[in-house]
Amino acid sequence: MEIVNVLTRIFLAPEELNEAITFYEDIFGEKCGPRFEYDGIELTRVGKVLLSAGSEEAIKPYRELMTIFVVDSLNDFKDKLVKYGAVLLKEPETVPTGTNMIVRHPDGSVVEYVELKS
């Protein structure tokens, strides 16, 4: 059971996405991953950044989810987090990239956990 990656989410207006991709590709020295849409938000990853572009209404529910922990086993982390008193705000569900859940840690931070598709 391990955290295999940590991503920071950056929120953008839709018209800012292409310019942001160019910027982050240049500073990370790598190309963006596939672009996909989820819940009215267009997403793509560059390096350790998840660019999230959508209307203010679409991104509002996700504003407090600034950090994403990519893990090797969502179920193992779910059990461990609950033992520490974390609160599941959203049970595990299938998303375009695999399975995710949203958790409020005992310190109050809200983190999205993702187990990627194999």
What confidence tens digit (pLDDT) does each residue in 58-99 have?
A: 999 899 988 999 999 999 999 999 999 999 999 999 998 899
CB of 39 within 8 A of CB of 52? no
Structure-token pair, residue 71: 């893990």
Task: Report how far residue 75's alpha carbon sits from residue 51's, in angstroms, rounded to the nearest whole number.
Answer: 26
Question: What pLDDT sits at residue 66?
Answer: 83
Task: Report how far residue 51's alpha carbon sits from residue 42's, in angstroms, rounded to the nearest whole number.
Answer: 8
Question: What pLDDT sits at residue 32?
Answer: 96
Locate all alpha helices (DSSP H) within 54-113, ordered by sequence: 56-59, 74-83
- Give CA angle at 45 (40, 51), nearest 5°: 50
- Domains, the chain, in order of start with CATH, read 3-116 (3.10.180.10)
